[in-house]
Every structure is written in structure tokens, then in C-alpha cells.
Structure 1
Amino acid sequence: MSEKAAICPRGHDSVRIVRDGIQRKGGRAKQRWRCVLPDGTYHRFLGVMSRTIAADSTCVECENHIAPHAGPVAPAEGEYLVREIAGALVGMGRGQTYTDAAIRARARGNIGKTGDRREVVNGQTVADWMSDFVPAVAARHEETAWPAVLVLDSTTFFWTDPRTKTSMALFSILAAYGYDKDGKQGHLWKLEAGPADDIGAWTDFLGSLPGKPESIVCDQGGSIIGAINKHWGEWAAVNLVHHCEHHLNERALAAFKSDKLSSDDPIRTLARGAFTSREKWDAFEAAITSRPKLLMTNGWLTKNQTWMRGQTQGRDRIPPVYSNSAVEQPIREIRQIIKPRAYVFKNRARMNHLLTLMRLARLRVDTATDYATDIRAFLNEHHGHPPRSYRETYDTQVNPKGEFLFNSLWAAKPQLAMEELRIQKALARAQAREIQRAAKIAEASGAISPIS
């Protein structure tokens, strides 16, 4: 073996670097090295990427023997293998909870340990890995500009106040799907979570990448339209936005049903091609206005006719993407994962790291092998000690009154309502305890009768 198989972390101009036994203290047994200096002095160290003794000293792939200095790697002085970290990140992107991913990593980490076996009590370890390593595994798949065709949609999670039965928006996930100028090569472009689904949130979202799409497909949400105008200039939406034809059609059919239009009604026939050209739209519009008693259908038309005249006029000039259904599917899948534990997620930065992993999973690029390769490169770049960026994700927001800590993901209104509810419940419990205490005192006093 070459003497330069390991590099001195102190940067010494060594006479030689040699293997110096196995360090068995603590977690896994690891190959130790000795750096011998010209004056004969030396010091011991673990490699920048510490080599560990493989379980049963055998490769999991080929089942051949592995020498201690050639075993699987872990971060310098770290307990978990790089491949275990990578596996945990893959699991998170596919819907595992923090705790479940941590338990699985711990189960593998206990194999071959020389110290006491440890158990997992929560998912904090994996939460820290998210901050440290998600940017590294996502770097090669990050988008650097908006695509030619941009499809936008969102989903919002709610909390219901049990006192008033009022639903309040808790947090939202904004999503973008992208295509090339021919309406092909489509994939999930970006995901981001935040307290609101409003113009400000969408403006920040659109401003997170450079470039300007040729076409934007979205539903009729005012927040998206307002953000487009704010980010790309007044009236930008008129030139860029194409309202989703699928949702337009669904709402039209609902209006037809309310007005009891028969299946062979001429208006239903005209509706089938009404969104494809201005000529067909004009015929469809004329048929509806000629029948003013169709109240719901005319109401739908009044809301959409001005916009649809322009949209159908220019339909043949945009790439052939007319619906936002492509972005709805990943949103639906992600919502199914998050909804059962929506109240657990409170940290915005960590949620965005999780959404990054979910995006990679939906791009089908989430393999433990690739993640491990990227993590090793990241660790080597930082000499085995990654910047402890997880501390930067801790919530530090305080409400204006300074009464309690806001979390960074949820909207302020439900948090204030939750705090009021907590205070009310605490007061109610205190009052109940006081009533019980007074009752016991009264009971004790009544039981002691004066001496006759």
C-alpha cells in the first residue's frame, strides 16, 4: 500500500504516514494513522474520511474480505457511515418520518460497534443531517433559471379553532413544473414552503430564479396573477398567463349541471372545442348569451369571457401546454405524505430541505449510491468536518409582544389563536384545581365537629 494512502490533517510535511492500529473506543472500530515528522516525533489521526471495519470484514456487494484501511467511510470522527446517511436521506424523500429514518440508521449503526449499543429516542440526528447534507446531494439537480413553460400551483394546510370552528391557513407549499419551449421534457422544477399562499409569497418564489418564461399555466388564483405582475411588470400576466383549461372546463360543466342542460344540448357540444380558438369561443359565447335564463352558465361566462377572448386568440402562439395537471400529481402525492403529520412540521428551513428530497424522489434521482458520492465529495472538500449549518435552521422568531416564540413555517394568525387556546385551557385547569382544593378544605372542616 502507498505511504500516501492518508493525508495528515495538520498539513505536515511528513517523513511518512503509516497505519497505526485500530481505534476501538466509542463507536465503530476505525483505521488509525501515524504521521511521522522529520525530527522523529509523531501524532496519530483518523483520516479525513475515516475508514471503518466492515461488518464481518466483508464487502456487502462482492462478499470478499476487506482490510481495515479499506472499509466503508464515515465523516471524520463521525459514528455513522456515509452510506447510512445517504440511505436516511433517500428514505426521507420517500415519506419516512424523521424518527423512523433515525431508527433504521441506528439499527445499521449498531452492527459492528465496539461500544455500548445505542437506541433512538427521536429523529434529531436525521434532522441535523438534512441541514448538513441536503444541499450537497441536491446541488447537481438544482435548476438555475425558469423554463420556457412554467406551470404553477399550490396546496395549503389548515388548522381549525375548536372554539369557533374557524379554519385558518397554517402553511402552504408552492410548486412549479417546467417544460422546454416545445412543451416537452417536463419535470418538477421547484418546491417551497412558507406561511402564506399570497402575492408576497409567490413574488418571492418567482424571484428565487432568474429568467422569464414564454408561457405560464396556472389556475385562476389572484395571488399568482398578482405576483406575476409584481415580479415581471404591470400587465405581464396578460401576455404570459394561460389559465388551466381543465379547471375552466370543470367549472363550466358544474354550471351546466346546475342549469340542468341535457347531454345533447348545443351549448355542451360547442363547449368541447371552445377553448381551442377565438372563432369557436365566439360561437360558444354567443350561444350562452342567447339564453339568459341559464343563470349559472351566464354567471360563469361573465366571469371568464374577457380573459378567454384573449386566451383563445393567442392559443396557437404558445407551447402546447394548456393545463396544470402535471404539477397537481406531485402536489397530491406530497400532500398525502405531509397531511397526517402536518402539525409536526414547524421549521420552515427544514421543511424546505425535506421538499428538496421529495422533489429528487419524484425526479427518480434519489439513489443512496449517488447521494453517498455527493456526500463524500462534500466532506472531502471540508476536510471531513462539514460546517454545522443545522444550527442556522433553528427558529428564532418572536412575536411583537414577546409573549412566546413564533415558529417559522406557520402563519401568525393560527399561532396566536393556538396560544390563546393554550392559555384558556391552562386557566381552566387552574380554576378546576382551585375548586377541588376548596372542596377538600370544606369537606375536612365539616368532618371536624366541635367538642360538646
Structure 2
Amino acid sequence: MIREIAGALVDIGRGSTYTDAARRVRMQATFSTSGKPARELKNGQTVAEWMADFVPVVSAPHAQNSWPDVLVLDSVPFWWRGVGDLKTKVPLYSVLAAYGYDASGKNGRLWKLEAYPTQTVAAWSEFFARLPGVPVSIVADEDIAIRGAVIARWGSDFWMERYHSCEYHLHASGSQLLSRSSGTSELSGMFRNALTSKEAWNTFETAVRNTGPLAMQTWVRIHGDQIRRQTERRATIPPVYANGALENSLNRVRTIIGDRAFSFRNRARLNLLLELVRLGLLRADNASDYATSIRAHLIAHQGHPKRSYRDIYDHQSNEEGTNINSLWSPAAQLKIKPGPDQEPVDSISLES
């Protein structure tokens, strides 16, 4: 059965639903002497139990022990829209993500994926607290929540000295503003390299303040201080200036969760799935390696390791009626309360 467990975990990390993974195992299961499958899997319940018990086991060889020298940050939110009312839009949860590089700006890899009910300073602070270490530089969009959490963890001086706003998004937003205004071709030419050196930025900023359109002057006022700081130190930090690699990883997360976003209601369970997705993006999702790790784990515990799946059930509620361990944001829990004929929030029929 070890091979079937390993294969199911690989399938889940590549986007299969729990139910589909269970059906695959059922088809591949070894037959007993009676000619019947050794264990009949009707839905994803058993696969969910395997995830709780064995995802930490297969991911252990690829665990990160501290934050990298270059830490790249981004997130992706997931939303719920009311049936028959497209104007009703409620945030369900967000997946926070980190990508890492070494001090030379090379050997990039997906570092961490974790789901949170809200995308706030508190969420990012909890995310940063997962690992020790002090990065040489941090690359992210100008996100207020990220900024607040970075300052809370490493201090305001760290933010001023080591934060690098993603140049791709700065350039995209600035170029878009310029393209909307007539007579800005000369400014567009200056802006092409304005984010790469202090001299180029000063030239562009002066030109905008003198003759630039009002919208671009406002943009410069908003971003100018940050750009000035990072162009002055750009040559002294590792050559990672944008978060594009992490965006590619989050696109994969978005695809796998996709239309099933509503089905993921338990934070611990989704984080196990995200860890399998991370292993897949690292190209470390090898069924043979998974089986080796699982077999060693079982042998170390004489075939009877502690079962973990009950530890992540979510049945506790606070005074407001929201499930305190649920993945959904409080707003979503209150807005989408199940009726008497609906499944409870912790239902694990696991069509997802």
C-alpha cells in the first residue's frame, strides 16, 4: 500500500482532487486472496487521512530551515461570489508565498506556501515567524501588509535599507501612465532605464516635475523616495529585482485551487496540499522517493505511527459563530453560514 499512498500524494500535488486520487488508488490496489480490492476507497476521506499522516514525512527532506539571503514575497487571494448575485464578492482566504535565492542571486526555488484567512500584517508576521534568519534583501510589491510585517519582524531600518520594490511592476505601472498621455515619447525613453541607476532616475524625475503630465507627477511623488533609495544601492545587492519567478509559482497555485476554492475550508488541510504543490514545483514529487520516506517512517515506528488526521478537524467556534480553525475569513464564514440542509464547514466528503 505504500506505493499507492506515494502515488496519491504525487497526484494531489499535481492537481488531482482527493476523490480522483482515491479512485486511482482503488483501480491500482492489489487484490486480496478473495479477489476483491484490499481496501475499497469510495471517496477522498482516506486520501485526506494519508495527507495528514504522510505529507510531513515526504516533505522533510526538502524542508527549509531558515529564510534565504534573497527573499521574494507575493500572495494570491481567493474569493467567493454569491450564487445569482455577481455583485456579492467575499474574500475567502489568501495564499502567502516566498521564493528564495542565495547571496549571488542564483539557485532560486520556491521556499514556502501557506494559506491564511486574511492577507494582513498579522498574517504576514505569522508567516515570517515560521523560520529564523535575516535576509540580505527582500523583493516584493509595495504592499502595506508586507511592509508592516517586515518592520515588525526586522525593524524600520531593515525596511529602508533592504527592501526592493519589484521593478517589473513599477515599470509596468509607470509605462501605462505615460502611454495614456500625449507628447510623452521623450519621457518614455528616459523611463526605460530610470529604475536601474540613481543618475537615470534623477534625470527622469526632474523632467517629470518640470514638464510631465499631472498623473505622472503624482506617481513620482508616491514612488520617488523608494525608487531613489533602491537605485542608490542597486549595484550592491544580489541581482534579483523582481518577483516574476514567484508569480509563475502562484499561477500554478491559482490553477490547482481554481474553481475549487470554495471547497477548501480547513487551513491545516489546505496547507498540506500547498506543501505537495511546492514539492511539485521543485520537481521533487517523485513517487519512488515518497515511498522510500514513508517506508522508513513506518519502520521507525514499528508500522504503527501516531495518526494525525483527527488533529486538524475544525469544529470549534467562538462567540461570533465563526470556526476559529477554519481557513475562511471571518467575513466569509458569517456571510456563507450553512443552512440546516447544507454540509457543515468541516465537511470532508472531499470532492476537493
Please give the per-residue CA displacement for 1:245-302, whole angstroms capped at 9, x wherever unaligned: 000001001111222345xx2111111111111111000001111115x122112111
Give the CA deviation at 1:306.
1.3
1:318 aligns with 2:240: no
Label 1:328 to 1:247 Cα distance change in 2 as closer, same or farther (>3 A).
same
1:128 to 43, 49, 54: 49
> Mapping of 1:134-173 within 5 angstroms?
134-161=55-82, 165-173=87-95
* SS of equivalent to 1:231: helix
1:328 to 247, 253, 262: 247
Aligned to 2:345: none
Give the CA deviation at 1:120.
3.4
> Mapping of 1:152-301 within 5 angstroms?
152-161=73-82, 165-261=87-183, 265-292=185-212, 294-301=213-220
Aligned to 1:101: 21
* SS of equivalent to 2:200: helix
Give the CA deviation at 1:168.
2.0
Please give the per-residue CA displacement for 1:172-213, whole angstroms capped at 9, x wherever unaligned: 101100000000011001111110111001011111000000
Query: If the length of structure 2 is used for normalisation, what is the TM-score?
Result: 0.92
Task: Indicate the RMSD between aligned Cα atoms, in angstroms.
Answer: 1.8
The more displaced of 296-305 and 145-154 is 296-305
- How many residues matched? 339
Label 1:405 to 1:282 Cα distance change in 2 as closer, same or farther (>3 A).
closer
Give the CA deviation at 1:112.
4.5
Give the CA deviation at 1:108.
1.3
Aligned to 1:337: 256
Aligned to 1:67: none
> Mapping of 1:368-447 within 5 angstroms?
368-402=287-321, 405=323, 408-419=326-337, 422=339
Residues 259 and 297 of structure 1 are in contact (CA less than 8 Å); yes or no, is this contact kept in structure 2? no
Alignment-mate amino acid for residue 23 of structure 2: I
> Mapping of 1:46-57 within 5 angstroms?
none
Q: Name the CA distance, whole Å, in 1 between partners of 2:339 and 2:210.
A: 58
Give the CA deviation at 1:422.
4.6
Q: Name the CA distance, whole Å, in 2 between partners of 1:221 and 1:286.
A: 26
Give the CA deviation at 1:401.
3.8
Aligned to 2:347: none
Alignment-mate amino acid for residue 202 of structure 2: D
Residues 259 and 295 of structure 1 are in contact (CA less than 8 Å); yes or no, is this contact kept in structure 2? no
Give the CA deviation at 1:113.
5.2
Give the CA deviation at 1:395.
0.7
Q: Name the CA distance, whole Å, in 2 between partners of 1:155 and 1:397.
A: 27
Residues 258 and 296 of structure 1 are in contact (CA less than 8 Å); yes or no, is this contact kept in structure 2? no
Aligned to 1:357: 276
* SS of equivalent to 2:71: strand
Q: Name the CA distance, whole Å, in 2 between partners of 1:113 and 1:87.
A: 23
* SS of equivalent to 1:290: helix
Q: Name the CA distance, whole Å, in 2 between partners of 1:331 and 1:261.
A: 38
The more displaced of 376-385 and 390-399 is 390-399
Relative contact order, CA 8 A, sep 6+: which one is greater? 2
Aligned to 1:13: none
Q: Larger radius of gyration, structure 1 or 2?
A: 1
Q: Name the CA distance, whole Å, in 1 between partners of 2:325 and 2:336.
A: 12
Q: Name the CA distance, whole Å, in 1 between partners of 2:268 and 2:105.
A: 32
* SS of equivalent to 1:120: coil
Q: Name the CA distance, whole Å, in 1 between partners of 2:149 and 2:323.
A: 29
Residues 172 and 195 of structure 1 are in contact (CA less than 8 Å); yes or no, is this contact kept in structure 2? yes
Label 1:366 to 1:244 Cα distance change in 2 as closer, same or farther (>3 A).
same
Q: Name the CA distance, whole Å, in 1 between partners of 2:324 and 2:125.
A: 23
1:347 aligns with 2:275: no
Query: If the length of structure 1 is used for normalisation, what is the TM-score?
Result: 0.72
Residues 161 and 417 of structure 1 are in contact (CA less than 8 Å); yes or no, is this contact kept in structure 2? no
Alignment-mate amino acid for residue 78 of structure 2: F
Alignment-mate amino acid for residue 81 of structure 2: T
- Extract structure 1 runs of 4+ deviating beyond 6 A: none
The percent of aligned pairs where both chains have the same amino acid is 47
* SS of equivalent to 1:314: helix
Alignment-mate amino acid for residue 144 of structure 1: N
Residues 132 and 388 of structure 1 are in contact (CA less than 8 Å); yes or no, is this contact kept in structure 2? yes
